[in-house]
Structure 1
């Protein structure tokens, strides 16, 4: 399990598992790479991983620019994030079947090239509908990239150096979330938002070409295996319907809308059929029997819930900074980027400590840190300075470093090696899906609470309120017309309402992070689990 721990990526939007989702399939005649091929192969795989992870965070600070250019609200703009995440999550369980059918190298290179094509289409999208469609395509073709990059990287190194290989891979996935907001903000401010997608073109082409040249002779064997088509359709149906419901709920007035009711019923019915089908299918697309293991359930549940809360928060902050606080996309990116600094520095330390410390204690420390960050954010005001916004982002990195590593160690503990790929894929699916759902729920809650606080604050703006009269007279004395005065007052009220709504979200998030302490301790200690025959049933 120590190797599993050392491979955890703790990036803000990283879509990968902490330990390799698939053991590298190695021909008896295939020796580890050495010299220049090893260096180039590692760089190519890392570039592809970097590009993939970058695309999960680079759009965060660009949402206001995208929304403004396409004529939609910022809350609708978050669909650009959620559509990618949901498609990516659904594609992850297909990686095993696709690998057996087409081979690791061929599938990886094809996935990278299709990712480049999808990126071009995203940049050319003339409206939100097509952009979301292309982001779905981008997320779907990106599914195999992360697990296969790990598998190919492990096949390049001798078994004794697998820890080094995974450490190199983890560094890539932790640097990308730091670079993403800065690069996305700079491109949006200085060129245009489509360039957050166009920059994938040279990176992807180089990564695909080098990977093909080096790894083509090491292609894995292929065979025709059955695929659970019914399970796949049901999976797409219930996850897709639920995500659309969450994204469009606020716009359509939730369950007062027949469309929302239809989506909810579709998702619920498809989910029930999916569970029944997967439990009885000979070759299920998702191995639900893993949920009979206590540590897998505990680790996956806590990781998914924490990631959903975490990702919802990192989407709200740049939106608030740009739409209400007057930050440029570049400044918002620089402000949110420190989230990866402590994650990058502490992850190797946490990885080395995993064999000595109970992972439940490390995860508990993470929940305290994440709760503390939420409570710090819950104290923001419209007059908050830049350093006060940056400080929680910096501390958040420590929460990330202590979150992914121990919870992945917990959920994989006690599993036989043959079950680790399925367990890693399923936990990834749950986590990425939770991140997409968390983004939609956070945006909806923030928007709804903003409207509520706005209505409550406006009730106090009467001709008989001395503060209102004073503000109105001051604006009039500055030369503003009555209409301009009212508009300025409304913007001031909206700014106050937005920060109060964000405070509400982060107060609740803080207490929810603390509540996860009650879940994580249901897991059995890793050492005891490992000694039990048959795992942690």
Structure 2
């Protein structure tokens, strides 16, 4: 406990450490989504297929998920300051190399390295902030950290869209370089390392734990990212990776519970609050990344918006979330239970999702999204901080870092599951709705005939011959059916996402803290 207390900072030092940690969290998360809008330009510039260029996202996510659970252990091995600074440097150098890539596979490799550096930034930033504040101010600390985590995914697409539209794709990586240099210098100067344990000798290092973990989470991430694209278990590589995932996790858990110096301390999950927080972090990741993924996809694919327009749509809600963070931090500090705030946040997320279900049409206007997204912003503000403080509230010392690693990994995996499930769901529901709509379109129905004749006349007025105009009319009708089927599948996603959050509310209200207290001062 002495080691932990000595890490509490005051005044100027705490401000600098907080700024550094939030900057690093923001850098890491923005880079998760900023490339989404630049994939077309990368493909054209580097000569890759759509399948190959999607590896630019997958490789980063795999690097991220492999390194996150190891972060606490690596901090102890090399000292937190050294490890954090090294991670920032790896991230920054990889960003430069990404921008300078000559072919698609070079870019994929450097994105993997960037993901390995970035995974450490997120968890270590959370641990740094948590330990720099006294226990009674943990709610405020998590609120500040949450700014980076919640605003980051939303900031990525508009920033990426602006850079791609006005400059060129390498600059989405180059903007990391000056920020990375500043963060590394501040870390070396101001961050202190706790003295929790002696370094392990090379023969004591849990190499098998590292290998099993890398195989398990790497394979799982591949399955989630590529499943829908490769038709799931009809693809041999997906089947092999699924088997590797199951075996990898089995042997990893066995190894960590039997080895004397495990790389991931699974026993920390005996803490009830952390267990609940880990599950809620997964659900939060599912909702946060899932909805951040689906709205730009809908507005670009169905409504024909540009990347910048789609990204800018999300900005007001992100600002609302940012404004909610300190308010929620204050509520927690005054003793409001985390369970209540999380439950209200989940209900609001349901309201947002159901609202989306009601307003989606093939030509929904920009104004229709505004209030709905504001509700999402308020909901996310009420979810992130209470979930994180609930998870870490009764941990102390080195357990804080280990707990932060679990919640961080589960949030990332939740996001990957969210995107994979939503992509598959949209594809399956789209086929289902299209078949239903086509089966109800009877060519002998007078209303259908009138529609086709009207379209034929329109095309004939543009100079087409009657038979070509008729074919164009049928094509136009088919396009309308396809578009309507796609809109209906997006509506289903919104509805089911909302119901998932609503179902969680009773379970959240039933959870209890270790000693019947759930306020942030419970870390004693």
Shorter chain as normaliser: what TM range? Answer: 0.7 to 0.9
TM-score normalised per structure 1 = 0.82
The 2-side partners of 1:306 and 1:88 are apart by: 18
TM-score normalised per structure 2 = 0.84
Q: Which residue matches 2:336?
A: 357
1:110 aligned onto 2:98: no
1:429 to 386, 409, 414: 409
The 1-side partners of 2:476 and 2:174 are apart by: 38
1:142 aligned onto 2:132: no
Q: Which residue matches 1:8?
A: none
Q: Which residue matches 2:190?
A: 215
The 2-side partners of 1:200 and 1:39 are apart by: 22
2:177 to 201, 208, 222: 201
Q: Which residue matches 2:325?
A: 347
CA shift digits 1:115-152 (9 cap, x unpaired): 12222333344565544433222111112223434555
CA shift digits 1:495-532 (9 cap, x unpaired): 3222111111111111111111243234114661579x
The 2-side partners of 1:132 and 1:346 are apart by: 37
The 1-side partners of 2:350 and 2:418 are apart by: 16
Q: Which residue matches 2:490?
A: 502
The offset of 1:476, in angstroms, is 4.0
Q: Which residue matches 1:514?
A: 502
Secondary structure in structure 1 of the residue aligned to 2:314: helix
Q: Which residue matches 2:315?
A: 337
The offset of 1:278, in angstroms, is 1.9
**Contact kept in structure 2, 1:86 and 1:433, CA below 8 Å:** no
Secondary structure in structure 1 of the residue aligned to 2:362: coil
**Contact kept in structure 1, 2:139 and 2:329, CA below 8 Å:** no
2:378 to 398, 405, 414: 398
CA shift digits 1:445-492 (9 cap, x unpaired): 223333443444445666543234433443443346557656554543
The 1-side partners of 2:76 and 2:266 are apart by: 21
Secondary structure in structure 2 of the residue aligned to 1:251: coil
Deviates more, 1:187-196 or 1:477-486: 477-486
The offset of 1:327, in angstroms, is 0.5
1:224 aligned onto 2:160: no
CA shift digits 1:81-100 (9 cap, x unpaired): 45423422321222223223
Higher helix share: 2
1:278 aligned onto 2:266: no
Secondary structure in structure 2 of the residue aligned to 1:378: helix
The offset of 1:230, in angstroms, is 1.2
Q: Is the alpha carbon distance of 1:73 and 1:343 closer, same or farther for their aligned partners in structure 2, counting shifts above 3 Å?
A: farther
2:462 to 460, 478, 487: 478
**Contact kept in structure 2, 1:66 and 1:77, CA below 8 Å:** yes
CA shift digits 1:163-211 (9 cap, x unpaired): 7766654445555445333211211222233322221122212332344
Q: Is the alpha carbon distance of 1:527 and 1:276 closer, same or farther for their aligned partners in structure 2, counting shifts above 3 Å?
A: closer
Deviates more, 1:113-122 or 1:323-332: 113-122
Secondary structure in structure 2 of the residue aligned to 1:192: coil
The offset of 1:357, in angstroms, is 2.0
The 1-side partners of 2:232 and 2:302 are apart by: 26
The 1-side partners of 2:199 and 2:397 are apart by: 23
Tell me, which stretches of 5 or more residues in structure 1 are unaligned? 1-22
2:363 to 383, 386, 410: 383
The 2-side partners of 1:161 and 1:351 are apart by: 8
The offset of 1:333, in angstroms, is 0.8
CA shift digits 1:413-463 (9 cap, x unpaired): 444544222222112212211212221222222233334434444456665
Q: Which residue matches 1:4?
A: none
**Contact kept in structure 2, 1:89 and 1:432, CA below 8 Å:** yes
The 1-side partners of 2:150 and 2:500 are apart by: 25
Q: Is the alpha carbon distance of 1:24 and 1:325 closer, same or farther for their aligned partners in structure 2, counting shifts above 3 Å?
A: farther
**Contact kept in structure 2, 1:177 and 1:340, CA below 8 Å:** no
The 2-side partners of 1:514 and 1:162 are apart by: 27
RMSD, aligned α-carbons: 3.6
